Structure formats: structure tokens, C-alpha cells
Structure 1
Amino acid sequence: MVEISEALAGRSYAFGSFELVPDRQLLLRNGVPVRLGGRALDILTVLVEHAGEVVGKRDLIARVWPDTFVEEGNLKVNMNALRRALDAGDGNLTCIATVVGRGYRFVLPVTVSTPPEAGDVPPLRRDNNLPTATTRIIGRSDAIEAVKRDLAEVRLVSIVGAGGIGKTTLALAIANQVVGERRDGVWLVDLAALTDPDLVPNAIAAAIGLAVHSANMLAALCDALRGKSMLILVDSCEHVIEGVATCVDRLLAETAEVTILATSREPLRVRGERVRRLPGLAVPADASSISAREALVYPAIELFVDRASEARPDFELRDVEAPMIATLCRQLDGLALAIELAATRVDGLGVAGLLDQISDRFRLLENRRGGPERHRTLLATIDWSYDLLGQAERLIMLRLAVFAAGFDLEAAVTVVGDNRVPRSAVVQGLADLVSKSLLSAEIADDGMHYRLLDSMRAYAMEKLSGSGELNEMRRRHIGHCIAWLAEAKYDAERLPRNMWLARYSGRIDDVRSALAWAFTDQAAASLAVRLTVAAIPFGKQVSLIEECRTAVETALQDRFAPHRSERDDLILNLALGATLLHSRGPLAEVKASLTRALRLADDLADTDLQLECLRGLSEYELWTGDSRAAIAVANSIRSLEVKGEKAAAGDADAQTGSALSWLGALGAARHRLEGIVHRPVLGDPRGESDRFQFDQRLTATGALATVMWLQGYADQAVETAKRQLRDAEASHYAVSLCCALLHGSLIIAMYVRDYAAAARHLERGLAHASTHGLSIWRNMGFCAGGRLTLYTGQPFDLASYREALAEIRKGGFRMRYPNYLTNYGEALARAGDVAGGLAAIDEAIALCRENGQVVGIPEILRIKGNVIRFEEPSRVEGAAECYREAIQLARRDHALGWELRSAISLVKLARQLGGDNDAEAMLETAYGRFTEGFGTGDLRRARALIETRRGN
């Protein structure tokens, strides 16, 4: 305790909300004792004694440490603790100012008075040496309670986790909460500066205030603590782990009421140890549309905001910044230290700037004040761990950096192992790195999986780049990826879908990383082509349509031509055509790629791939609206012999059935479609099928639902659409789900006038298309939703609709384009441009007739009749002609759904004009042919009209 001047002895000193009583080593805030280290209290006493004066650093050190040589850093650490305690008490009030180059000055007015009587304040026992807890603990309440329960049940608890994850913060929070529960106190032993494991007993003795001097310090410490009841917090054990383990094991054996709480990057492995591994702070899995209020539920984001507010007092989390901060926290693996370091840079960079530059995290996240030296930068934190590794562990850690995702033991052995690092060393090295919290491990269904945290991987990659081994490790990694992609392709045919995804979907980043490097290194050009071809089936399984398309286009560049075989060219062109079709629409490039692939398949006499090429070309023609050309290509499939046998009819029936339905041949279409939908599900032995193409059964199911509704089987249509959606969801393929939502469930829901369900399917479909970058599907969904907007009377965004319509036309998609154009025409008419609307509708009818896609003409004519009535009542006869022609065409094609709709419109118009028995008869005749669907919208309307007439 610092010596108080005689003039000031026996006094108390008041400033702000505080009162200092030096004689009693007591600091009060609003009458409540404040726990503060003894040295910090001594510093405060000296400054208060000379309030308003500058006290030099050397003078302070001489007063506070009169008989001990200490570095200036000790003064800074204690000064920081003192300032935190004082500033926390009075908000933003600054009590101590730094006078640069000279020292410190206590700046608040000080009132000197007689100290309170002993009975006026709570007693403050010197039963701990914990620093003042001024930092709010975020997101660790469950962990705190769990460790406290552990401490009540066992005598050694180790909090284990990666550097910077918050172990010390958590341990100090727990220790502060249990102060007063142990008769002989709670004591912090910070081992950070200790370099000799044999001095661990000395450090513990010094921390708890034991003046023990012995040649056998461990034995003396055990003797001194025998009979004591205390909690000892041993912090930062990893670098002297053996010394800590020996000391703790002995203490637990020779004392009865001493409890140890340790923090380390690996367990102590002492008898009776209970290990609590500390994970990163929780972050949202999907940050794309999170709001500020939703984001603050996650501790990682709450911590970021809390620390950013300290750095910039006016900082507030806004909705626009919430997704960016969520992404940043996820990239930092929820590491508390990394998040805190990042938050301190918000003031200079802003949230967007910080996120843009976070990849250069080691340069950005620096200069953190306070705390152990090793925690001042993220780089220093990882350096601290790396420097403690053995040579083999270092080599393994660096080589593991080529894995961008999780990996198992065999993968690590394949890539990392060699003569320098045999299998046994890899096995032991993984265990050691997990133990030291540099590598995460979790048990999966197929065994143990490992992963380097992103920050650790970035650090290791930088060192690997400087080691001269990077290229060799990359090549090994690519070879490993090619091998497991072949395994994944095989497993896709035999494993349940959810099991396959659990096993392989987490490896996407490995494929991305391997491709990115292979394409930039000319020496790896051959590997790049092999990897691209191997990744195509995997890309389809995990819906990486755009990424696969980009990779395929790159592999098809001239510079890779010497490294491609004829078969490679075939597969790459086939994949390019399919991915372009499903992401951009039926562009001319699609047909060129598929035609080139078919020619190569013919040259190689590969009937499996000939079949795939013809499927793709048939689908292309169908999308362009040329149903006859689609049927012609499909017929070519029937002439193929696959493995000595004629191609199965189902290989052509999906596109043929759809094409026939557009041509108005509903009965023939249904026959073809039901043949594929209801045939038994058999495993497809052709391992290279379904390369970014629709599942034939899903395609047929959606088309069948539409045919059923058109024929008057509304209930069956609804159930069939539901089946398609279920199957598409189970497929986990983005394009199939878009098709089921936007070309299946949405359309059928609107046909039966279930507008609530239609809205749900539309919203989900648009979101799904946007998520997967399927622009053609997003535009198609938006235009299909235009009909729902018209049905429900919502505002119609003509400008946005016009843009989407232009994109669809530009993409060559004509199959449903007349329907979308009709929606636009009606919207124009409702907006007052009746002439423009009718022109658009007439163009839609002409397009249908030009391509022979006549099945939709009755509905377009009905809508035209409605639009004619918008113009002037005198033209009602023109509207009636449209309705009658629609009924006639619907009857020709046996499209009972369209016939009923047009009959309803005709009856409504006729009744406005005084009635028409022929129109009434048409409605009753159409209604009478229905056998189901009586709860759907059109049938309810028809029944109401019929009953109204009969009631009259």
C-alpha cells in the first residue's frame, strides 16, 4: 500500500459519484464498494493526493512500487484498469488525463472530508485480485451457468477454445460472480508472461499473496493451501501446459477445498478434469435479408454493435447494414477477439468499407489497446498459437490450408501425408491441433470431420505460400477433389438424397477453391479440365448452375484445347447448353452447344450421351415455342439403341407429351405423360445422366397437372401439382423446384382460383430463383405473377413488367410468352390504353397460331373479349364473338376448363343485354360434363349463375 502523506491521512476524497478512503484501501461508487486491484488503488491515491497537478510516470512508479523494478508497461496496464473503473461509473466522464511526455493529471474537482464510520459502508474484504469487470459479457450466459454448475460438481474445469474466442473474458466473468462464495477468495493467475513451466507454482503463490520461499515450491504451495477454500483461475496455460498440469494435479491431490478454473487452447489432461469447449459466438446462417432487430438476437452481431458503439458513440445498427455485419461476423467465425478488433475500425472505414476489405484482415485488425500483448492483433493471436507448435504440427497445419472446407482423416492423409509426414504423424497431428483449438472437429454420420477456422486458414495459407510448397499442395488437393467427386457421383445413385447431401454438400468450397487455382496456373491446365468435367455432376446435385456454367466456359477456352479430349469437349458442351438453357433461356448459343455435343457423341458412338444431347435439344425447341420441332427431336430418341436396346419410350415422352399439350392434342399428351409419371421408379444405371437437365418424371408431372385441369379434372390437377412440388423439393435441384413452383403449383392455383396459395408459390419461386441466380426463371415467375395481380386487383407495375417481358423475349423463350404478353395487354387496357392492350393481345394470338401452340388461344380470346368491353359498351358484340370462338376452339381441343370459363363470360355479358338462351345452354352443357372440382372457383361461379337463372 502506498504511503499516505500525514496531512491527508484519515481523510476521504469525493469526486463525481466516487469516494476514496485510502486508509481502508476502499473505493466507493454511490456508496457501493468497487473492486479494484491494489496497485490501481495506489495509483489513484497518489493522483488524488495531487489533484490538478501533473504526476510524472517515474514518480508514480516510485510511489506505487517503491522497492521493485517494474517496466512502464505495468503502469499502463493498471492505469487502463483504473480508467475503465472510473469512466464506467460516470459514463463518458474523464477523470484522469494523460499529459503527453510528462505523466498523468487527475482533472476532476476533489472534495476532502472525514471518512464515513466503519458501520456506514459494507465491509470490503481483500479476497480476490480480479480486475474490475467493466466489459459487458455478450452471448455467454448459458456458458457461464454451465461452468458454474461444473465448479459446484468438480474441482477442475478447463475452458478450452481457439485464441481470441473469449476464454479469459468468460472465466473472469464467472470468477467475479463467485467472489464471496469461497472462504479464502478467488484468485487470478495470469501465465501469459511465464516462459518456464517449472515456475508455475511460483506464479500461483505470488498471485494469491503467499510469501513462500522454498527449493521445492510445489510442495510448499500445497502445504500453504492445505485447509484453504478458494478458487484459482489459471489463465493462458497452453504454452506451459506440462507445468500447469503437474502443479494442478498435485494441488488437487493434496488439498480438499481448492478448485481450479483453467483457460487453455488444449485440455490439461489431468484426472478429474471437466472440459468445456467454447464455440464462436452465434451468427445467422442466412444474412441476405436480416433486419437490424433480427440481427441483434445473435450474440456475434450484438458484440460487434456494442464495441462499434464504443469506438464511434453515434454508431447505430441500421437495417441496410445488418446483412453486412452478419456476413462479416460469419466470416470471422464468431471469434470474439476478431469481431472486437473489426468493430474498432468502423469509425474509419464504415461497415461497407470494412466488409469490402475484410479479406485483408491481418492488416486491418490491429492496434487494439489493452489486454495481453498477444491479443493486440489477430495476427499476434494466431502467431501465439503457431509458435507453440512442434515442427511436424506446423507443417501439417500449413498444408491443411489448401482445404477450403471440412475434411476427414483420409483426405488429410492423402493431401498432407508424404515421406516427411507419414500417416501416423498426420493422425497424431490432427489430434494435437484439435486439442490446441487450431482445428475444429465434429462427429458426423460418416465419421470425424475437421476444419480450419477461416482466420487460421488465411494465416496458414500465407505461410504456406512462402514455404515453396503451395503449388505441390494445390496439385495434391485437386487430385483429391477429382477422386472424391467420382465417389460422390457414384454415391448419388445409391444413397438417399439427404444422406448424400450430408456427406458431400459441405465440400462446395473445396471445388471452388481448386477450380480457381487450376484456371490461373497454366502448369495445371490438364488438371483444370479434368476437375471441371468431374465437377459437373456434383454441380448439378448441389444446384451450382451458374458456377458450373462459368467453369465450363473457361475450360472450353482455346488455351485449354490441347488438354481436352474429344469426350471432354462433348461433356463440356453438353453441360454448357444445359446450364445456359436453365439460367438464361433458349439462346442461340444453347442450340449451338448441344448440336456440337451431339455431333461429338455421334462420332464417339456414345448412345448414352446421344440420348442426353437429344433430350436437351428437344427441351430447347419446346422452350422456343416450336412444339413440332420438339416432337421431331424426341422422335429421334426413339431410333436410338442404348446398350443394344431401343431407347425407352419415357426418354422421349416427357417433351413429346408437353409439346402435344401445347398443340391442343390433350388426350394424346395425357397418354404420353401418364406413361412416364406412373411407370415404376427404377435406378438409372447410366452414371452420367441428369447432367443439368430436368428430371423427366418431374417435367411430365407438371405438364400432366395442366392437361388434367384443361380436361376438367381440377381435383386431380391440384393433387398432381402437389406431387410435383414434393418431388421437386426432394430432388434438392434449384431448377426443378423453380419449375414446380412457377410452372406447376402457381399455374394450377390460379386456374382453380386459389389466390392465397398462388401468392405463396409465387413469392417462394421468385425468392428461390433470385437466390440461385436463375434470371430467366425470375423473369418468367414475375410475368406469370402478372395474371395473379390482375385477378386480385393489385397495382400493376407496367414498367417493371415491360422490362421482364423484354428479357424473356431476348432470351428466346416463347413457350409461355404469349400468355405473358396477354397479361401485359390486359394491364395496358386497364390503365386506359385499350388500343395498345388489344394490339398486344392480337400479337399473342398470332404467335400461338404461328407456332401451332393453340391450346391457350381460347383463354386469350376470352381475355380479349373482356378488354373489348373496357373500350365502349357499343362493342359488346365483338366481345361476344370472342367468347363464342373461344368456346368453339376449346370444344375442338376438349379443353373443358377453357370452355367453362368462356361460357361464364358469355352468360354474364348476355344477361347484361337481356339474356341469351343459347349462352345459358352452353354454360349448363359445359358444367354438366364435370365430374369433380366443384369446390374450385370457376365451378362455384358457374353453379351460382345456373342456380340464379333457375331460381328466376
Structure 2
Amino acid sequence: MSETIAFGPFTLAPRERLLLRLGAPVALGARAFDILAALVARPNEVVSKVDLLGLVWPDVTVDEGSRRFHIANLRKALGEGREGTRYIATLTRRSYCFVAPISETLGLHPAPLEVAATYPLANLPGLLARMIGRTDDAAALSAQLLSSRFVTISGTGGVGKTTVAVAVGHDLIEAFAGAVHFVDLGALNDPALVATTVASMLGLSSQSDGALVAYLADKRVLLIFDTCEHVIEAVADLAARIFSAAPRVHILATSREPLKVEGEHVHKLRPLACPPEDLDITVAVIQAFPATRLFLERAAAGGALLDLDDIEAATVASICRKLDGVPLAIELAAGRVESIGLQKTTALLDERLALLWPGQRTAPARQKTLQATLDWSYGLLSESERQVLRRLAIFIGHFSIEAALEVVAGGIVGKEHIFSAIDGLVARSMVAARPAGATMRYRLLDTTRAYVLQADTDEAALEGLAAAFNFIGAVGYGSGKPFDKSGCAEASTGWNQIKQKYLNR
């Protein structure tokens, strides 16, 4: 059987030179078919006019009009423009890019990828048609899970933990003979129901913790516990007991913070890579980074007709950097391009409205908007962690622990508790940390900082921030005190923003 490629309602069989739409053949000229096959073989890659001519018309001289004629016929056959559909993007009038999500299968009439049809016990959600920038993560996690048995995928809200966990489940379904069980804990409000939910999913008549652990003692299964952070104590206790008593059970958890129990290995899922600011941004460059590729794909899926030049490519890169490469944030922003355009999308990123941009109707409630995602994370913090987070919002960019101690301390939280609060914020993925030599540097993601600054701030909190800012002014630069110089500058800029927003209202 030959390989086929599916996109939208179409199935392309290159070897048979056949294009089907909902199972019916599509009339397509030979050159138009060759153009489609060449572009589909390079999804989300820029194919220049010269390269396309070499692929479709090798050793033949073709004029510009002929190329445009066949491209136009191909677009007509695909129905581009109807109800906002978009498959082929023209970039700067000199190159093309196939932008629709694709999937590869075997045979002309592939059966739906329903796990349950082959493995009745499995309950995995379906795979995304195209997963951008996470293939290496899924492969590494699959190998780690087989060797270590217990892995938690941690990371900020919207970074793609569930997407990767589902991909790992599909990767390993044959290794576990179909015994892969996905447990969505996101809808639970009562931690006491965690074990009951798992037992019910396994079809056990007795739903006690002890009966569940005893049942699993000699089983070889993969359990995927999804969205654990709001019931983390109960999940951590159950996972630790299963790991200890059931040596053939493998556990994959997703959580905004690690479970912190014996046997757990943590895989921190990082945001998607963005083009750096010091790079000369072009249309070709943004195709090389997963964050910008995702933006282009989701914008096209939303009906946006993007014929980018290099200036607009730099705008796309700037948007993705502003959103810190977080897939959910990128998808929500990309979804606005069709209705308000690229420039207006950029301009609105700093507004509260951006936090309320809606996503997919089928998304969990906590991920329908950035506001909902951050509300979910913020609600899991202790009061002291919230107070520390609000004060850390004075920083724009990276800061040191010394700078944080000086800004945060001041009566509301004692210094002895600040380290614990910052540890908690890092663990819950509300504050990002990275090593810088022998020390650590910290920062709030831009979306998190925008959310914190939108929160109600009382006069006492503002007075505390004012005191912190006055300290910065008193210390100055080069004082010899252990206050980070760049931290001073970043905090000064941040305070000016906060003062403008709250004290002059």
C-alpha cells in the first residue's frame, strides 16, 4: 500500500497521482498535481519560484504566465477562499508555502485513527493533525517513561503538556498492548475523588484506594494523569503508592508543578523557540522556528490570507517573543489576525482585551482564554505567593534573587518566607528561572506580568511598591550593595509603568 497525505477534506496519493475530496476524485492537470505534490512534501516550508520550477519543470524553460496559470488552477481545484479556506500561501510574490495541517497514512482509504477500534481498553484522545515543535519532546519522554516508569511533564499553563502526553500515549500504545489509560482530572473539584475516578475508568466495582492499588499490582499498564495541579496532594499520594506496589505500571502525569514524590522524574516542557531579537528576520527565517510556524499555521487555519514580506515576518517574530513562545497564547493571537489584521493584533497584545481573546469552543474552560488559564494558576497560589508575585511584577525582564529580596521585603512577607514563595512560584511555572553562571536569573512571562498588573491593587500594595522603588532610587548604581544593576534598571522601568497605570488613574 502506498503512502497518502491528508489535509482538510482531501487525500493525496502521490504515487497513484490521485487527489480525492471526501473520497471522490478531483480533476487536476498534470502540472497542477506536480505543484501540489511538491508543496505538500514540504509543509510549512518556503519554496522559492526557482526551486518550484526545478521540481515541476526540470530541464524545461517555463514562462511566468504558465506558472501562474497552473497555480491558479490548483487553487481553484482546492476551493481556496471558500469559507476562508487556505492551503497555499504566496510569500512576497516570489515563493510559496503549503500552510494547511497535514497527516500521513497508508493506503488510499485509511481507516480513522481511533485507538479504541484496535485496543478496546484504551481511551486516549485523538492526536493533533499536526504537532509543531514537540516531536523531540514526545520521543524523549517515551524513552524516559519506558526506562524510569514515572515521569511528570511540568510547565506553564498553555505550553502543551496535555498535547505531548497524548502523543506519548499513542507512541507507546503498542508497547503496552493497548493498556493505556488517560485520566482527565481537570474537572475534579474534590481531591477525595481522584482514586475513585481512576478506579471507575478501569472498570473496578470497588473504588477504594486499596482495591485500586491491589488491582494494579501485577498489571502492565500506562496511566496518564492529566491536569494534576489543583488536586496535587491526592494525585501525589496515589501515584507514589502505585509506583511502589505495582512494579509494571508506568505513570505519566501533567501538572503545572511537580508531584515531588519518590520515583518521579520531571520533564520541564519549555515554550516553543522563537527567532531571537538579534537575528535578521526574513520570511525564510520565521519558517525555521516552531513558535512562528505555529502562528502562521493557526492564522491560515483561521482564514487569514498572509502574503508576508520581511517586515511583516519581523512582526510575527515579535508577537511570538512577546507571547514567550507559549503555544496557547500564540494560537489565540493568531486567531485574531483574520478579523483585525497583523498590526492591530500586535498593538492589542498589551491590553487587557488580549487576555480575553477566545480560543476553540471545545477547549477546557481553563484554556478558553489566557485570562482563564492564568486565573486557574493564580487560584492555586497561597496568599504569600500572590503578594510576592504582585511585587515581582515591578520587574521587566530578568532579575536576580538579591533584587527580588530587596523589592519584595517590606512587612507583608518576611525575608525568611520569600525564598519559599519564589520556590513555589517557580515550581508552579508562574516565574521562569534559568542559570546564569553560578547564579540564577528569574523573570515573569510577559503574559503573566500583564495579568498580575491587571489584578486589583489596593493602596497598601501600592505603598509597598513605592517603598521598593524608593529603595532603588536610594541605592543607585555602583553602591557596592548586593543589588543587581540590571535589576535596578528593570525595576525602575516597571515601577514607572505601574505608577502610570494605578497612581494616575
State the TM bucket, normalised to the shorter chain.
0.7 to 0.9
Aligned partner of 2:305 among 311, 314, 323: 314
Superposition deviation, residue 206 in structure 1: 2.4
| Alignment deviations for residues 874-921 of structure 1 (CA, whole Å, 9 cap, x no partner) | xxxxxxxxxxxxxxxxxxxxxxxxxxxxxxxxxxxxxxxxxxxxxxxx
Aligned partner of 1:390 among 377, 382, 388: 382
AA matched with 1:302: R
Query: Quick check: which has more Rg, 1 or 2?
Result: 1
Aligned to 2:35: none
Find out whether 1:333 has 2:324 as its counterpart.
yes
Pair 477,280 (structure 1): closer, same or farther in 2 beyond 3 Å: farther
Aligned to 2:145: 151
Aligned ranges for residues 589-668 of structure 1 at < 5 Å? none
| Alignment deviations for residues 165-202 of structure 1 (CA, whole Å, 9 cap, x no partner) | 11111111111221221035111111001111121111
Superposition deviation, residue 244 in structure 1: 0.3
Aligned to 1:111: none
Aligned to 2:122: 128
Superposition deviation, residue 213 in structure 1: 2.1
Pair 279,134 (structure 1): closer, same or farther in 2 beyond 3 Å: closer
Pair 481,340 (structure 1): closer, same or farther in 2 beyond 3 Å: farther
Aligned residues: 398
Superposition deviation, residue 309 in structure 1: 1.0
Find out whether 1:421 has 2:413 as its counterpart.
yes
Superposition deviation, residue 519 in structure 1: 8.7
| Alignment deviations for residues 466-488 of structure 1 (CA, whole Å, 9 cap, x no partner) | 56512430341342365262347
Normalising to structure 1: TM-score of the pair? 0.39
Aligned partner of 1:210 among 203, 209, 212: 203
AA matched with 1:157: V
Aligned to 1:911: none
State how far apart, in whole Å, the 2-side matches of 1:350 and 1:172 are.
Answer: 33
Report which stretch shifted further, 342-351 or 314-323: 314-323
Q: Secondary structure at the match of 1:275?
A: strand
Aligned partner of 1:187 among 181, 185, 208: 181
Aligned to 2:156: 162
Find out whether 1:299 has 2:299 as its counterpart.
no
Superposition deviation, residue 442 in structure 1: 2.0
State how far apart, in whole Å, the 2-side matches of 1:304 and 1:267 are.
Answer: 29
Q: Do the aligned partners of 1:266 and 1:436 also contact (CA within 8 Å) in 2?
A: yes
Pair 249,362 (structure 1): closer, same or farther in 2 beyond 3 Å: farther
AA matched with 1:377: T
State how far apart, in whole Å, the 2-side matches of 1:484 and 1:176 are.
Answer: 56
Aligned ranges for residues 187-586 of structure 1 at < 5 Å? 187-207=181-201, 209-214=202-207, 217-286=208-277, 289-312=280-303, 314-363=305-354, 365-368=356-359, 369-445=361-437, 447-463=439-455, 465-466=457-458, 468-480=460-472, 482-483=474-475, 485-487=477-479, 504-505=485-486, 508-514=489-495
AA matched with 1:472: G
| Alignment deviations for residues 857-877 of structure 1 (CA, whole Å, 9 cap, x no partner) | xxxxxxxxxxxxxxxxxxxxx
Q: Do the aligned partners of 1:222 and 1:250 also contact (CA within 8 Å) in 2?
A: yes
Normalising to structure 2: TM-score of the pair? 0.72
Aligned partner of 2:135 among 137, 141, 158: 141
Superposition deviation, residue 335 in structure 1: 0.8
Q: Do the aligned partners of 1:228 and 1:257 also contact (CA within 8 Å) in 2?
A: yes
Pair 93,264 (structure 1): closer, same or farther in 2 beyond 3 Å: farther
Pair 175,132 (structure 1): closer, same or farther in 2 beyond 3 Å: same
Pair 478,178 (structure 1): closer, same or farther in 2 beyond 3 Å: farther
Q: Do the aligned partners of 1:227 and 1:255 also contact (CA within 8 Å) in 2?
A: yes
Superposition deviation, residue 315 in structure 1: 3.6
AA matched with 2:464: E
Q: Do the aligned partners of 1:127 and 1:180 also contact (CA within 8 Å) in 2?
A: no
Q: Secondary structure at the match of 1:224?
A: helix
Superposition deviation, residue 252 in structure 1: 0.8
Pair 133,516 (structure 1): closer, same or farther in 2 beyond 3 Å: closer
Aligned to 1:175: 169
Q: Do the aligned partners of 2:355 and 2:369 also contact (CA within 8 Å) in 1?
A: no
Superposition deviation, residue 514 in structure 1: 3.9
State how far apart, in whole Å, the 2-side matches of 1:520 and 1:398 are.
Answer: 14
Superposition deviation, residue 319 in structure 1: 2.5
| Alignment deviations for residues 662-706 of structure 1 (CA, whole Å, 9 cap, x no partner) | xxxxxxxxxxxxxxxxxxxxxxxxxxxxxxxxxxxxxxxxxxxxx
Across the aligned residues of Structure 1 and Structure 2, the Cα RMSD in angstroms comes to 3.1
| Alignment deviations for residues 727-783 of structure 1 (CA, whole Å, 9 cap, x no partner) | xxxxxxxxxxxxxxxxxxxxxxxxxxxxxxxxxxxxxxxxxxxxxxxxxxxxxxxxx
State how far apart, in whole Å, the 2-side matches of 1:414 and 1:311 are.
Answer: 46
State how far apart, in whole Å, the 2-side matches of 1:134 and 1:189 are.
Answer: 18
AA matched with 1:223: A
Q: Secondary structure at the match of 1:486?
A: coil
Pair 152,517 (structure 1): closer, same or farther in 2 beyond 3 Å: closer
Aligned to 1:900: none
Q: Secondary structure at the match of 1:232?
A: strand
State how far apart, in whole Å, the 2-side matches of 1:452 and 1:478 are.
Answer: 22
Superposition deviation, residue 350 in structure 1: 0.8
State how far apart, in whole Å, the 1-side matches of 2:320 and 2:416 are.
Answer: 36
Q: Secondary structure at the match of 2:156?
A: coil
| Alignment deviations for residues 589-611 of structure 1 (CA, whole Å, 9 cap, x no partner) | xxxxxxxxxxxxxxxxxxxxxxx
Superposition deviation, residue 298 in structure 1: 0.8
State how far apart, in whole Å, the 1-side matches of 2:80 and 2:121 are.
Answer: 28
AA matched with 1:370: T
State how far apart, in whole Å, the 2-side matches of 1:229 and 1:475 are.
Answer: 58
State how far apart, in whole Å, the 2-side matches of 1:203 and 1:520 are.
Answer: 46
Superposition deviation, residue 287 in structure 1: 6.6
Q: Secondary structure at the match of 2:478?
A: helix
Aligned ranges for residues 778-927 of structure 1 at < 5 Å? none
Q: Secondary structure at the match of 1:188?
A: strand
State how far apart, in whole Å, the 1-side matches of 2:478 and 2:10 are.
Answer: 71
State how far apart, in whole Å, the 1-side matches of 2:444 and 2:438 are.
Answer: 19
Superposition deviation, residue 271 in structure 1: 0.8
AA matched with 2:384: A
Q: Do the aligned partners of 2:348 and 2:354 also contact (CA within 8 Å) in 1?
A: no
| Alignment deviations for residues 817-861 of structure 1 (CA, whole Å, 9 cap, x no partner) | xxxxxxxxxxxxxxxxxxxxxxxxxxxxxxxxxxxxxxxxxxxxx
Superposition deviation, residue 313 in structure 1: 5.6
State how far apart, in whole Å, the 2-side matches of 1:205 and 1:467 are.
Answer: 50
Percent identity between the aligned chains?
A: 35
More helix by share: 1
State how far apart, in whole Å, the 1-side matches of 2:469 and 2:234 are.
Answer: 39
Higher relative contact order (CA 8 A, sep 6+): 2
Q: Do the aligned partners of 2:355 and 2:370 also contact (CA within 8 Å) in 1?
A: no
Residue segments in structure 2 that go unaligned for 5+ positions in a row: 1-8, 12-21, 24-78, 84-115
More strand by share: 2
Superposition deviation, residue 357 in structure 1: 1.3
State how far apart, in whole Å, the 2-side matches of 1:210 and 1:92 are.
Answer: 48
State how far apart, in whole Å, the 2-side matches of 1:270 and 1:92 are.
Answer: 53
State how far apart, in whole Å, the 1-side matches of 2:80 and 2:124 are.
Answer: 22
Aligned to 2:28: none
State how far apart, in whole Å, the 1-side matches of 2:341 and 2:171 are.
Answer: 36
